[in-house]
Structures are given as structure tokens and as C-alpha cells.
Structure 1
């Protein structure tokens, strides 16, 4: 119930901005009906409605009618999402033309059955099932719901295969899964009705069918709304990743900045350099550029023998692949920084290992964070000892 209300409140502002959108009207109808189907069944609500109409099972037929409308509304949404406007409009009219008479027929069947037992919302589903006329009505009602969910599942799966947006595809798969759970609920209701008619005790069965139905309803609510709020999750995840990358790149950036302060357009050493206050995406981009500039500025201090020493050390550590490459370059950078600090440029500078396996920014960020981690792990004392032995071999 809370999920349905939240979904409705989330979607209503869009409907206010575009009141003529049939898909928005249908989805808001779906959310409203979903909320009412739970709300009217609450134990502190239904007795007042029953007293108002003078019939204790008023909310039973009301809820069933609401669910039929809900089922038709979700089919109309799918038609508008998966077909061109004209075709969607035609199909929507057909859905209304089918479900309208079905709804009237169900009301007539219920009026013919007129079940008279009602205790609480939790036990109502098992009551009156011994009434053959009510059992026939319930078979018809569950069949209408099942047919609607079968169509929902089929169209959702088909649309998920052609939808261009990732979160829309995910939403359709979730809707299809929800429809599957509601179909399980329908099957269990068939068995439950038949069991009570046969004199079996179906009370242990009852919580399972409610669980399947509630799970399906929740999944469908999530599936219908996730195309709207799902991209915000992707944006949040992206921002978290960018923040972590910005923070992880700081030790490497700061070392290169100390060696060549001119690489920084806006120097931000200390805490300000670790925690960007605003413009994270642009600051991360600047950090990548400044690191690459810092690497280029160190080229005159990269000694050819340092690369050999770096490979030996990485091999001895059992590294391979990207980790091996990052460790080699991290060692070379530390060696170049020491050589620059000592004022010892190389007589024949070696090429620095390529800054990133790929030209796009995400690839460069992934590579440079791997490099920054390797750079941060490299111990200054061990580097000095290794460098001393390397310098000794060079004579």
C-alpha cells in the first residue's frame, strides 16, 4: 500500500505537467487502484464502508472491480510504451472494450452470489468459498486477472527486448516477474477454491497465495516506476565512483604536482585536493589531465635501466596483466621523481609507459586509479635500495 502511494505521489507531478498524456493517465490510474485495493481491505476501513452501504462484503466487490481496472490500466500503459501513438490508441480502446463488459459481468455475477460471511481482511479470502455461486464468480474474477497478467508478461518481455533505455528494459523485466508471481497467486486461488469446494482444509495454503500476490504487486510497482528513478541510481553510483577515483588519484597527483607545480590549473593540496567541494566531474577530468602532464614532464628523468629494474621487481612479486604494468610504471615514476629531485636527468631518456590503455576518459580514469594505487603501495625505502643497486649497475 505504501509503495503504491509513493509511486502515485512520484508520478503525479509529471501528470500535472502533461495532463493529455494517455500513458501517464493510465499509469496514475494503475497506482491509484493499487493503493485503493490495499487501503479498502484494512480492518479499520472496510467495516465503515460496509456500514455505509449496509452490506458487509461491499469492499470485496469494490476491491475486485478496482483490480480489474488496474489490470486494464497496466495493459494500456504497455500499449502506449510499445506501439506508435495511433496503434496504441486503437489497442487501448480495444482493451477498454473488452474489460468494460467483463467488469459489468463480474458485478452481475457477484450480485447473483451475494456472499454473506465476512470477518477480517486476513480471513475473508477463505470465507464463502463453500458457496457454489460465489465460487463460480471467483473463478471468473481470477480468470480475468490471470488473462491480464499473461498479456502483461508477454508484452513486457517483448518490449524489454527492444527498449532502448537500460532502465526501461530492467523495468519491463521486473514487471514481467511481478506478473509471473501474480499468475502463481491466480493458480493458487484456483486450487484453493477447488479445495474448499471438495471439503479440504485450505487454511495453511492461504498465506502462500497472499505472499505470491503481494510480491507480484510490489514487483510490478517497482517495474513501472524504475524507468523514472533508476537513472538517478546510476548517476549516484557514477558520482560515488568519480569521488573515489578523485580521492585515490590524490597521492599520485600530489607527488607530480610537487615535482612540477605548473601542471595544476588550480592547486588544491591537502584536504581540499582530496575532497572536491563542487564540480566533481570537471575536477576529476582536470586531475587526469594534470597527472598526464606531470608524467610527460618527467620524461627527461626516466632512466632506461629503471624500466628493467621495475619489471624484475614486478615479476618477483608475481604480478601480471594490468597490475604488472601499473607496478612497473609506478616504480618508474618514483625513480623519475627521485632523479629530478637529485638533479640527475637521463642521458638517453626512455619512453614512459603509456598513460592509459584507451583514449576515452573512463578508461584513463580506471588505469590511472590502478596506477595511483600501485604508486601509493610502493615503499620509498625499498625504492631507494633498488635504485641504489640500479645506479650501481649503470656505473
Structure 2
């Protein structure tokens, strides 16, 4: 048994894993609503490491071992989960399309049959890697002692387990470098905004997580050679790089969706004053009565549909009230828009809102 306290690892791993699982659920929900191969790859790429972090927490690690009656079996699940992320990351690096190469606004819609052929080949390589890791682990005899935090350095002297560890780290390191390289190039071509910031966070997280791979490889190599005193690279510094990298990558995947959700919620609430005018003009225009102030504040789901419906009902109210629009109000609003130097869209919106009000 390791004398390293479990609590910090439980808190960090379960915390990061829980947040990542939540992000994965949102991505899967988005894919369900608007299916596309690329979005499904994103969702699965987040899901695999999210579950790996949860399983890596010592409390669940030990529970899995007890349930399976096999020590350290959870290590195999954790490393296969990270290998799943590596496979997804390499696939994303191929199907993400630079803006200049897109026929439209889709990020991956421009992926060709050649691209998908490359993706399938790389996924086949990682599938073979996962199979080899499983065989090496199960035949390596790393059952005792149970070491949720020091597995790598404890069993580095076992030839089969050392091969298992090196294969895992090689696949993970390759994926991190690949996705980091692609994300940096992709971000450089994007306009400033949430998507660009999110992709930069993914790239930064991949670079930071490379520190985990380096620490682990040094610790494994020195342990296999019989050198002592480097365990801290595997048990302390390596997990710091892993946790920080995972947090940055998760934030990178979540931030564009979070920004879009915030924008939709702001638009939904901003339309409330005009919607109230339309409702007062003719209550039959609305599907339901005005929501209370608290209901409005707590509106978190289906914001895109709610905003679109609210806009349509305002439009119906505008058509209903058109015979009573005061020309003087339209003229005044036009002058205000001209003095403010508004563009065509904002100018039209101001005039419509003022005349409706």
C-alpha cells in the first residue's frame, strides 16, 4: 500500500472527471439534436478521458478492484480511456478543416473520402494498440500490491508491464503533439472569438499534458534501471501536468458552447420588453402567458427554440400593430440611428423596436 494520501487525488480526479462528463453529455446532446460525424468524435473524445479520470480516483479504483477480485485492474481501464482520447484526438486532427478550405461554415463538412480513409487507418492503429496493451497487462502479473497511485514505478521492472506502459505513453504523447499542432494552426486562421479561444485552450492543454508524458517516461525508465529517488515525477509532478492539461482541454471544448449558450440566453431575455408589447397588443399571438421574473431568470434549457419563438411572436405583433405605427416615431428613430452611425442591421432593429414600442 502506498503511503501517499488519497484525498487530494480523489478531489482533483473526481472534480475534473465530473466536469468533463458534464461537458461530454452536453456534446452528445448536441450531436443527438444535430448529428454529424465530427461532433460525435468530439463527444467521444471528451467522454473517454472523463471516465478515465473518474476511475483513476483512488476511491473508485479500489472499488473496481474489489468488485473484480483483481488488483490494479482499474489501471487498465484508466489507460484504455486515455488511449481512447488519443484515438479521438488524432481523428480530430485529420477531420478539422481550416476555414480557407471549407465550402461553407461547417468545421468538418469539407472532410473528403481521403480524410476519412486516413482517420480509419489511424483508428485501426489505436485499436491494435489498445488490444496489445490489454494482453500485456493481463499477462504481466501486476496484481499485487494494489497501487492506485504508484503503479508505473512499482511494476516498471516487469518486462511485460514496462512494454504496456511505454506503448500507452507513446500513443498518448503522439496524440497530444498532433492535436496541439493542428489546433495552433487552426486557431491562427480563425477570427477572434470564443471558437478561436477554445481551440487555443485545447492546444495549450495538449502542450501542458506533454509534461505528464515526459515525467512518466523518465520515472518508468529510471525505475526499470533500478535508480531510486525519481518516484515523485510519477506520483506528484506528472499528475499535476495531467490534471492541468485535462482542465485546459475540457475548458477548450466547453468554452465555445458556453459562449453560444450565454449569447442565446442574453438574446432571449433582451427580447422580453418587445414581447410584452406584442402580448399586450394581442394575447392570442403568444403560446403561453408571460413568464414570471424568476422563470425568466431560471431559463436555462431550449433557449434557441424559446428565442426563435419569442422572435416570431414579436414579428406577429409587429404585423398586427402596423396600421397604428406613428410615422413621427419612425422618423425620430431614423435620425437617432443616423447620428449613432449604426450599420444597416442595427439601424433597422432600432427603427422597428421604436415603432413597435
TM-score (norm 2): 0.63
Q: What's the CA shift for 1:187?
A: 0.6
Name the structure 1 match of 2:29. 13
Query: Which residues of structure 1 form unaligned runs of 5+?
Result: 243-278, 280-285, 297-354, 365-395
Deviation digits for residues 291-318 of structure 1 (CA, Å, limit 9, x no counterpart): 966xx9xxxxxxxxxxxxxxxxxxxxxx
Among 30, 45, 51, the residue aligned to 1:36: 51
Name the structure 2 match of 1:49. 64
Name the structure 1 match of 2:175. 148
In structure 2, the CA distance between the partners of 1:105 and 1:134, relative to structure 1 (3 Å rule), is: same
Name the structure 1 match of 2:73. 58
SS at match of 2:144: coil
The answer to whether the Cα contact below 8 Å between 1:149 and 1:179 also exists between their aligned partners in 2 is: yes
> What is the distance in 2 between the residues matched to 1:36 and 1:122?
17
In structure 2, the CA distance between the partners of 1:11 and 1:131, relative to structure 1 (3 Å rule), is: same
1:67 aligns with 2:67: no
Name the structure 2 match of 1:360. 342
Higher RCO by CA contacts (8 Å cutoff, separation 6 or greater): 2
Query: Which residues of structure 2 form unaligned runs of 5+?
Result: 1-16, 98-107, 271-309, 311-328, 347-357
> What is the distance in 2 between the residues matched to 1:78 and 1:165?
21
Name the structure 2 match of 1:220. 249
Give 1 or 2 for the bigger CA radius of gyration.
1
TM-score (norm 1): 0.57
1:189 aligns with 2:205: no
Among 195, 199, 203, the residue aligned to 2:227: 199
> What is the distance in 2 between the residues matched to 1:81 and 1:31?
16
Q: What's the CA shift for 1:230?
A: 2.3
The answer to whether the Cα contact below 8 Å between 2:52 and 2:81 also exists between their aligned partners in 1 is: yes
Q: What's the CA shift for 1:179?
A: 0.7
Question: Which residues of 2 match residues 169-318 of structure 1 at below 5 A?
Answer: 169-197=196-224, 198-205=226-233, 206-233=235-262
> What is the distance in 2 between the residues matched to 1:75 and 1:157?
14
RMSD of aligned alpha carbons = 3.7
Q: What's the CA shift for 1:72?
A: 0.8
Q: What's the CA shift for 1:238?
A: 9.9
Q: Deviating runs (4+, > 4 A) in structure 1?
A: 232-240, 289-293
